[in-house]
Structure 1
Amino acid sequence: MKMVGLIGGMSWESSAEYYRLLNQGVRDRWGPTASARCLLWSFDFAEIERLQHAGDWDALTEGMIDAARRLEDAGADLLLICTNTMHRTAPAIEAAVGIPLLHIADPTAAAIRAAGLSRVGLLGTAFTMKQDFYRGRLRDRHGLEVIVPPTEDRATVHRIIYDELIAGIVSPASRDAYRAVIARLVAAGAQAIILGCTEIMLLLDAQDSAVPLFDTTALHARAAIDAALA
């Protein structure tokens, strides 16, 4: 079994879910006493959040590269960034280490393509929804048409992530707000919805949408299990 290096703490709520999914998946495949070989570098998300909203992506990239190198030096065979937004730094990380980085968008896109779908709505932080580092990969590498919510809905989705979900707060009112955003994306032609923030799975499940939901956290973890056990 390969050693999985996890760059986490962004937030720890979703990193804990990664740890659960990895271990549960290995146990399901290899038996009741089996568990995942993994290393976790966990950031203080308060520092990450401050730099994100200050737009200091150079400092963020330096920190992510440092974490990746530490995991490589500790014996990781492959890397996961346990957050969608910080995949903005993925190209720099790939250039700085000698082990593969499993990009969260790739298993997500593969699952969407396997379902025969091509036009998807994207929920995530404002950075993920507005900037091209994520949408562009889905479009250019996988041929997906990506629809994002309008400005007001993007603000709502982003606020709930940072004010509630990263603190483990799951509110029925926020679930209703997300349901409304999803309904508008479906009305705009989305055949499916990408839960493009690793905390959104804390709030939503299949019954909250008229079209399929693709949980990037679960899909990323499953791909990591496949790679580790190959």
Structure 2
Amino acid sequence: MTGGMLTIGMLGGMSWESSAEYYRLANTVVRERLGGLHSAKIVLHSVDFAEIERMQVEDRWDDAGKALAEAAARVQAGGADFLLLCTNTMHKVFDQVQAAVDIPMIHLGDTTAAAIKQAGLTTVGLLGTGFTMDQPFYRERLESHGLRVLLPSMQDRATVHRIIYDELCLGIVRDESRRAYQDVIARFEGAEGIILGCTEIELLITQTDVPLPVFPTTRLHVEAAVDRAVG
């Protein structure tokens, strides 16, 4: 079986807290599927998040896209058969990264939308970084699958974003922040489910914390990757 397993490319480090989760989950899911000592074949390129975060804040998305495109080419050169961009926010430059490599990329929005539709839902609340919530790139990808995407209020968005960058990206997981997220989720009107649309949120919120179905984008992304890798 291993001979036939494809190598998963991961472009990570945004933040490394979430990339560690990608790495852990991919190996866990492969072990669940194949048993024994099986683990995932992975090429991981991890960037310095401080540089990328500065580009985000300064609205230099083209520079960020170039930096990630270069990194993606290295992942391909390392022997990856396909590629995951291990961050929701940087899917803003997905097309720029895909154009830099010959290997296919699995879009996080597509794997999330597929899971929501499989659950029979159409209207979902989106939590993520301010960039992911405020800008159209992620919502429109979900809406292209026929979903209706609800956003928190401006004030709630600021809270969600702050907790991601000031706490979760630094590995800080606090009960009061979990409660703050639960309060934000409770204020969604008409949501049938909640997208945990930032890889770090899964460090804070799990299904047991929320009465509505949650869609953990990292896990869904990884499961799609393992499906492709092990066939």
Equivalents in 1 of 2:34, 2:214: separation in Å?
A: 28
Is 1:82 equivalent to 2:83 in the alignment?
no
**RMSD (Å) for aligned C-alpha atoms:** 0.7
**1:26-45 alignment runs, 5 A limit:** 26-45=30-49
Structure 1 residue 99: Cα displacement: 0.6
1:139 CA drift (Å): 0.3
Check the 8 A contact 2:22/2:222 in 1, yes or no.
yes
> 1: CA distance between counterparts of 2:180 and 2:35?
40
Q: Within 5 Å, which residues of 2 pair with 1:9-48? A: 9-48=13-52
Counterpart in the other structure of 1:50: 54
In 2: Cα distance, 1:112 partner to 1:145 partner: 11
Q: Secondary structure at the match of 2:11?
A: strand
Q: Which residue does the alignment assign to 2:112?
A: 108
Q: Percent identity?
A: 58
Native 8 Å contact 1:164 1:170 kept in 2? yes
Residue from 133, 149, 161 that aligns with 1:158: 161
The equivalent of 2:64 in structure 1 is 60
Output the CA distance in 1 between the equivalents of 2:205 and 2:10: 24
CA apart distance, 1:28: 1.1
Helix, strand or coil for the counterpart of 2:105? coil
SS in structure 2 of the partner of residue 83 of structure 1: coil
Name 1:198's counterpart in structure 2.
Answer: 199
Structure 1: which 5+ runs fail to align? none
Aligned to 2:182, which of 158, 179, 183? 179
Task: Report the AA paired with residue 32 of structure 1.
Answer: G
Deviating beyond 2 angstroms after TM superposition, the runs of 4 or more aligned structure 1 residues are none
Report the Cα offset of residue 107 of structure 1. Answer: 1.2
Q: Is the 8 A contact 2:70 2:100 kept in 1?
A: no
Of 150, 153, 161, the residue aligned with 1:147 is 150
1:91 equivalent to 2:95? Answer: yes
Task: Quote how far apart the aligned CAs of 1:80 are.
Answer: 0.2
Contact 1:183 1:210 in 2 (8 A): no
Gaps of 5+ in 2: none
- Shift in Å, 1:207: 2.4
Is it true that 1:168 corresponds to 2:163 in the alignment?
A: no
Q: What amino acid does structure 2 have at the position aligned with 1:13?
A: E
